[in-house]
Structure 1
Amino acid sequence: MSDKNEQRIDNENLNTSKPHLLIYAHYYDLASTAQIIRDLAEGMLESFRISVICVVPSYLGPIEEKWKKKKYYFETINGVEVIRVRVPEFSKDNKLSRVPNILIYFFRAMWITKKIKNIDYVMSVSQPPILGGLLGVWGKWTKKSTNGQHAKLIYQIQDFNPEQILAVNYSKNRLITNLMMLLDKFTCKQSDLVITVGRDLIETLNNRFSKKTKQFPKTALINNWIDEKEIYPLSYSNERVLAFKRKYQLEDKFIFMYSGNIGLYYDLENLIKVIEKLKPGTKTKDGREVSFVFVGAGTILNALKEYVNQHQLDNVVFIPYQDKADLIYSLNAGDVHWCVSAKGIKGVSCPSKAYGIMAASKPILGVLESGSEVRCLIEDTRGGLCCEPGEYDKVEENIHWFIDNAGSSELKAMGSRGRENLEKNLTRNVSVRKYAEEILKL
């Protein structure tokens, strides 16, 4: 890194009286967790001076040529100083191709941390698994505030690992998973505050530690959120919503929509077999043809496409990720939205896509374990129908209920109740304020 860039970091960190918060975030673009971190960083600028260390834009794997020339890039995004680390490209179809991407981010983030002075607080995120948390420990150990004290560490857990890996049989190597557990527990112990995004995740955290000694890390529950001013209900006749439907031949269709990461943790390969039972041409009682729409990308997208082609499921449509500015139109195009997790994900992960669905005032078809945070939110508000992962007959029954009640006032009321609760309790401002308050109390 040039002397000019080093001087830039030093000068900018000294030109403020606000406490300095450094955030390690693997992604700061496109992915749902990345959007949460970006909202959080920008929302806390009134309380903190904020720097973020992340990778160059690469969530889908490929990297544009403009991000391949230097090891580090520096930019200011809406008041947040962003330091981007160059990493190798990867393929979402190849698990091992992610390893160099993650490791190079880890070591380059460690190195660039040395160039940033006067850090009061360090926040790390549980992505990438284990290493995201360990970056926070590195920051705490190596950075000091202006008064000479070590930085306080806040560990934000979006997903628990190795519990998530074990839940979906991603790895059966107990040596590796035991080491992962040991390291992540170490991060939790080193943290001055652990923030989780669900009541069931708090329980998982406490179960990691001895109930006899009661040596639990200090914790706080702060829900994820959606910006209710960016995502909100639109009429079916809205021109941009209609344009989205026309683009993908979805006019006059009753749409079951899945929007988000098409990955390992959602049991989609079995749910597509449930969808197969509803033959193409199935219609609702109000005469609309039923379509199942998947918006997004991920590790099992190609497998789903292959299954759909082999079984000639003409009522299934795949659509690429939508730009953030267009998400409001795609979400509003759906009549019912899936919110699903594989069995074993309770207390391990919290599907944030639920907040966008609620913001758009849409009913939810939930396949979620009892007691999980999002299922509790859906059931508390009567915002949809839920069943357990693996209860495929019940999934089919719930699909038919929505088909039979298409266009009814009850479907509209389900969505409205979810939106009302979100406006009261799950907005960006509410959650960001809680983060700032909890951090400043340390």
Structure 2
Amino acid sequence: MKIVYLHQYFEKDKGGTRSYEIAKKLVAEGHQVTVITGNEVSSCEGITIISTKTPYRQEYGYLRRILSFLIYMLKSLFYALLEKDIDIVYATSTPLTVGLVGKWVASIKKCAFVFEVRDLWPDVPIQLGIIKNHFLIKILYRIESGIYNKADKIIALSEGMKIDIIQKGIHPNRIEVITNFADINRFKAISITDQIRLYTKYPQLQNKFISLYAGTIGFVNHIDYILKLAESTTHDKILYVIVGDGKEKPRLMREAKLAKLTNVLFLDAVSKAEAQTLMTMSDVGMCFVRDKEILNRNSQNKLFDFWAAGKPTLINYKGWQDEVMREFKAGQGFDYENLDDLRLYLENLSIHKKHYKEVQQQVVQLATQYKKEDLLDRLNDILQNINKERATLL
């Protein structure tokens, strides 16, 4: 098959690398893959990568972000239409405009269209109060509906997302769930030498019970919650480590300094490899969001990385992740307002080593349910079946 893969934020060595892993797998299965991205990334490992050279930063204001979305939409459409003999166009959100390109390319090129839903747009920005204009909201919902109805298959990253899409009138048979991946073998390959190098680079991490956040420091990620947690923590050994960059970081650093939070350490963004090494050095992971029910459906890649590293992870919401952690006795989620309960749980893990080891062993078992290789095999089968079904109709 020839697959044109649309992802505005495609990365191979930092941040979320889901698309890179998918593209690598598809190439390994003998498919021809062309990725069209806004980032400047070179072709690699048999993947043809076309860059629209469309700048995008988390620090951008909303108007500049919209401009970036529109530029990528137009440029990616142009490049995609130049491709010949396309079997499947695979478009991954966000932004929602990527789905429009996939829809248009599929219509013009008479090929199959697969739309991957990583976040529920426009529901999330609307419920967070980011988008308020009623006319714009109406347009965005119409765009979303058009994309869903055109797609031959929708890939949702969680069961919660699938349920929401079904409630929008899409038949369940047209939706598959492929969560983010636990790359267990990658974490097994991280050596003590790798860890020592980072302990030397960051001596503040030595002899501490590390509660780690690694990722974008933006509005939705709600790092303010970590500062509140740190402020209420009395155990000296617990160190809250925040790794990454983003629009909110300067303000948060000022607030931590004003509050004299000596148990909070901010580190600059690091490579994907170093972030993964830091995860193996941590004791507990943190994946927090703002207090909005719509965010309970999320499928944060960081959470799967922590699970793959065998680390208990704190989340300040309920939903499917809380359910599977409880099922495997691998931790639990907490309601947003129950910060004190979450803090006590963390302090308990830091004090009682036997209990920590028991939870950690269960996390290792939980991670096998989301093993990268198994989910990639399943996605490849889904795409092959779409192509076969379409061939029988022609």
Q: TM-score scaled by structure 2?
A: 0.90
Check if 1:329 corresponds to 2:277: yes
Alpha-carbon distance in 1 for matches of 2:201, 2:148: 47
Higher helix share: 2
Contact kept in structure 1, 2:55 and 2:68, CA below 8 Å: yes
User: In the alignment, what sits opposite 1:376?
Assistant: 323
User: In the alignment, what sits opposite 2:362?
Assistant: 417
Q: Describe how 1:158-307 pairs up with structure 2 within 5 A.
A: 158-209=118-169, 218-232=174-188, 238-248=192-202, 249-279=204-234, 282-283=235-236, 289-307=237-255
The DSSP-based 3-state class of the residue aligned with 2:141 is helix
How far is 1:394 from its partner? 2.2
How far is 1:390 from its partner? 2.8
Deviations 1:95-123 (A, max 9, x none): 33222222211111111112111101010
Letter matched to residue 303 of structure 2: A
Q: Describe how 1:78-97 pairs up with structure 2 within 5 A.
A: 78-88=45-55, 90=57, 92=59, 94-97=61-64
User: In the alignment, what sits opposite 2:108?
Assistant: 142
* Residue number among 260, 263, 270 corresponding to 1:315 in the alignment: 263
Check if 1:125 corresponds to 2:92: yes
Alpha-carbon distance in 1 for matches of 2:358, 2:84: 52
The DSSP-based 3-state class of the residue aligned with 1:23 is strand
* Residue number among 304, 310, 316 corresponding to 1:361 in the alignment: 310
Alpha-carbon distance in 2 for matches of 1:207, 1:195: 15
Check if 1:392 corresponds to 2:359: no
Q: Describe how 1:20-39 pairs up with structure 2 within 5 A.
A: 20-29=2-11, 30=13, 32-33=15-16, 35-39=17-21
Alpha-carbon distance in 1 for matches of 2:337, 2:209: 25
The DSSP-based 3-state class of the residue aligned with 1:155 is strand
* Residue number among 413, 424, 432 corresponding to 2:376 in the alignment: 432
Per the alignment, do residues 429 and 90 of structure 1 end up closer, same or farther by CA in structure 2, a change over 3 Å counting? closer
Per the alignment, do residues 89 and 376 of structure 1 end up closer, same or farther by CA in structure 2, a change over 3 Å counting? closer
Identity of aligned residues (%): 19
User: In the alignment, what sits opposite 1:48?
Assistant: 31
Alpha-carbon distance in 1 for matches of 2:189, 2:346: 22
Per the alignment, do residues 245 and 178 of structure 1 end up closer, same or farther by CA in structure 2, a change over 3 Å counting? farther
The DSSP-based 3-state class of the residue aligned with 1:317 is strand
Deviations 1:265-291 (A, max 9, x none): 233223422321225xx33xxxxx221
Per the alignment, do residues 168 and 271 of structure 1 end up closer, same or farther by CA in structure 2, a change over 3 Å counting? farther
The DSSP-based 3-state class of the residue aligned with 2:125 is helix
Per the alignment, do residues 349 and 32 of structure 1 end up closer, same or farther by CA in structure 2, a change over 3 Å counting? farther
- Count of aligned pairs: 382
How far is 1:181 from its partner? 1.6
Contact kept in structure 2, 1:200 and 1:346, CA below 8 Å: no
How far is 1:31 from its partner? 5.5
Per the alignment, do residues 421 and 181 of structure 1 end up closer, same or farther by CA in structure 2, a change over 3 Å counting? same
- In structure 2, runs of 5+ residues without a counterpart are 387-394
Letter matched to residue 378 of structure 1: M
The DSSP-based 3-state class of the residue aligned with 2:212 is strand
Per the alignment, do residues 179 and 251 of structure 1 end up closer, same or farther by CA in structure 2, a change over 3 Å counting? same
User: In the alignment, what sits opposite 1:101?
Assistant: 68
Check if 1:112 corresponds to 2:79: yes
Alpha-carbon distance in 2 for matches of 1:158, 1:122: 16
Per the alignment, do residues 226 and 215 of structure 1 end up closer, same or farther by CA in structure 2, a change over 3 Å counting? closer
The DSSP-based 3-state class of the residue aligned with 2:187 is coil
Alpha-carbon distance in 2 for matches of 1:207, 1:31: 35
User: In the alignment, what sits opposite 2:390?
Assistant: none
Alpha-carbon distance in 2 for matches of 1:269, 1:312: 15
Alpha-carbon distance in 2 for matches of 1:20, 1:239: 41
How far is 1:387 from its partner? 0.6
- In structure 1, runs of 5+ residues without a counterpart are 1-18, 58-72, 144-149, 284-288
The DSSP-based 3-state class of the residue aligned with 2:104 is helix
Alpha-carbon distance in 2 for matches of 1:158, 1:194: 11
Letter matched to residue 430 of structure 1: D
The DSSP-based 3-state class of the residue aligned with 1:386 is coil
